Amino acid sequence: DGGITQSPKYLFRKEGQNVTLSCEQNLNHDAMYWYRQDPGQGLRLIYYSQIVNDFQKGDIAEGYSVSREKKESFPLTVTSAQKNPTAFYLCASSIDEAYEQYFGPGTRLTVT
């Protein structure tokens, strides 16, 4: 079955540690995205990538980093510089940026 996988579903980390969230897709999509959801807020774009080896900052990129070395994979690293990392993180992909986005199941990150 084609789709997007994110792992793990729940992640716990101590403050000051970097953590990497995984996102893999087998839909052969060129574009991939990372969003963050906080209670009472809409999805906010962290980073997006239109093609392999290229990515752009979204609206809230500070404290995050990404890589896009393979078409299928778009990992997100939450660094210790991110002031409020506890949130629900969603990864998505689309054929290209003009089309609907397909979302993964999400990772809930808790930093204490």
Partner 1 sequence: ILNVEQSPQSLHVQEGDSTNFTCSFPSSNFYALHWYRWETAKSPEALFVMTLNGDEKKKGRISATLNTKEGYSYLYIKGSQPEDSATYLCASPNAGGTSYGKLTFGQGTILTVHP
Please answer whether residues 36 and 48 qualify as being in contact, where contact means their C-beta atoms are separated by less than 8 angstroms.
no
Using CB under 8 A, pick the residue from 2, 15, 41, 54 that binds partner 1: 41
**Site membership for partner 1, residue 52 (CB under 8 A):** no
Of 18 and 57, the one with the shorter C-beta distance to partner 1 is 57
Q: Which amino acid is at 101?
A: Q
Residue 38 binds to partner 1 (criterion: CB under 8 A): no
d(C-alpha 60, C-alpha 57), whole Å: 8
Q: How far apart are CA 74 and CA 25, in angstroms?
A: 9
The residue ranges that bind partner 1 (CB under 8 A) are 4, 31, 33, 35, 40-45, 48, 50, 56, 58-59, 90, 92, 94, 96-106
